[in-house]
Structure 1
């Protein structure tokens, strides 16, 4: 599903002073370390370790921490993963009510672009949305070369009720896992077709995001911004492009998730054994939340 440029890989490796052989050596170091961690439930595949190395700028110690948390987080915040299996009815319903997918080609050969849109008003379930989002991450970990992300959302069908359904604490956990656990790099958030009551969402985002990250959000009144970002060959038909339709992109994402059904069944049961952990886990720093939610006014 994912188109990855070999030139981009080489450039990223060069930026961090790495070559293919050095990366293979780093993978071996990580796998050797994993074998000494009896609490971890499996030995991670090489391709996934390479993505974690890349996301952590090839720091061995940071990569170890993030791989540990990749497994541990499912016990710390189970609500973000418990309905992520694509065979579940709630997951199928999410795709019936929403568009949620990543474009096959990277923007400028580097950035992976997420797209989301509600099909109709008053159907948004943010928690189910976050669950599927991390399921897509699982696919990317296996097939993608992960550098950074663009998040694009069409807010045309977001009702006032949908906006108020967004729980700041859960959203903060989502960003905490996204950034601090998986080390994903958020390049930009683009929100378009923004309704007048988008100020509700703005207030929530400002409360849960650090100022530097919040500054990366763009608000646009219409869809014209897409033509400046997505190439015409991939831009969905609904926005005047020559790409697939939103339904076709959505179906492609569902098909890809279903191809990994065995992995998702495994993840449902995969947990660390805290009784075997060599050192006690301290997750206060990892899952610390930014902001004070009591100050949010969404009346």
Structure 2
């Protein structure tokens, strides 16, 4: 019976995804193209509900086009991106947790506050996530999609000078996108190596975070050992007591993917929504 049920679920998923693909292609509020794996993530994020998936997709691209400087006008190999990746790591970690969650790590390589450029750094963050969303989560099980997202922020070296360099409009756009438009379910945010003045930092960002998301944040104030309860050590970099390779190796892998996916990240057909009158004008010319 379980085999029959699994087969029925597969048929329903294929049918729903075909419907969503057709709907996407005909929707004037969306770009011209979407990668099949990304479409699957939207669908899974909404627990297979087609109508909820459509709403999430429209919100996602509406926010992208409202903030093109963060989501559309970008290049992973330009000077702004190089500057971000020179001082900070934005790293999807290999594999999945026992709960089938994907884990990402964010940390400083250079603690000098003047190296931080919040808007450009946020743009780089979304380039890394956009690449990840069209990459299988576990090469050993390519059909398996993560059931949720776990983020680790290493606060080592963070000072109030860093916090003073936050751009409020960028912070607001970033958090809103994570809360209402992300194509994966956010399951946990772990803050490690928290400084003694953590309460001052929290007081700055908390007004922009919904209570629902704030409840997902866990602050590790003593040592990193408490993180191992939630994230297997084997998934973490060597520098964090793990077995997933060095930060340098993971950094190299991430940069390689960004370079390979550069055309995708910069292709307006995947991100930019044309005004309906422009799109209609193009269609009309086809018949002239």
Q: Compute the TM-score of the two structures, normalised by the length of structure 1.
A: 0.79
Tell me how far apart the structure 1 counterparts of residues 29 and 236 of structure 2 sit (CA, whole Å): 45
State the Cα deviation string for residues 45-95 of structure 1 (Å, max 9, x = none).
332221111112222122222323443333201232256421111112211
CA contact (8 A) 2:90 2:105 kept: yes
SS at match of 2:38: helix
SS at match of 1:106: coil
CA 50–276 in structure 1, closer or farther in 2 if over 3 Å, else same: farther
Q: Is 1:137 matched up with 2:138? A: no
CA contact (8 A) 2:104 2:151 kept: yes
CA-atom RMSD in angstroms: 2.7
SS at match of 1:271: coil
Tell me how far apart the structure 2 counterparts of residues 129 and 263 of structure 1 sit (CA, whole Å): 19
Aligned-residue offset at 1:255: 1.0
CA 201–18 in structure 1, closer or farther in 2 if over 3 Å, else same: farther
SS at match of 2:90: strand
Q: Is 1:210 matched up with 2:200? A: no
Aligned residue pairs total: 265
Structure 1 outlier segments of 4+, above 6 Å: none
Deviates more, 1:180-189 or 1:114-123: 180-189
Mapping of residues 81-230 of structure 1, within 5 Å = 81=71, 84-121=74-111, 122=113, 123-144=115-136, 145-221=145-221, 222-230=223-231
CA 277–56 in structure 1, closer or farther in 2 if over 3 Å, else same: farther
Structure 2's unaligned 5+ residue stretches are: 137-144, 280-288
Tell me how far apart the structure 2 counterparts of residues 254 and 106 of structure 1 sit (CA, whole Å): 20
CA 174–268 in structure 1, closer or farther in 2 if over 3 Å, else same: farther
Tell me how far apart the structure 2 counterparts of residues 173 and 256 of structure 1 sit (CA, whole Å): 25
More helix by share: 2
Structure 1's unaligned 5+ residue stretches are: 1-9, 279-299
SS at match of 2:157: coil
SS at match of 2:267: helix
Mapping of residues 205-284 of structure 1, within 5 Å = 205-221=205-221, 222-267=223-268, 270-276=271-277
CA contact (8 A) 1:83 1:131 kept: no
CA 111–28 in structure 1, closer or farther in 2 if over 3 Å, else same: same
Deviates more, 1:184-193 or 1:96-105: 184-193
Aligned-residue offset at 1:191: 0.8
Aligned-residue offset at 1:198: 2.0
Aligned-residue offset at 1:115: 0.5
Q: Compute the TM-score of the two structures, normalised by the length of structure 2.
A: 0.82
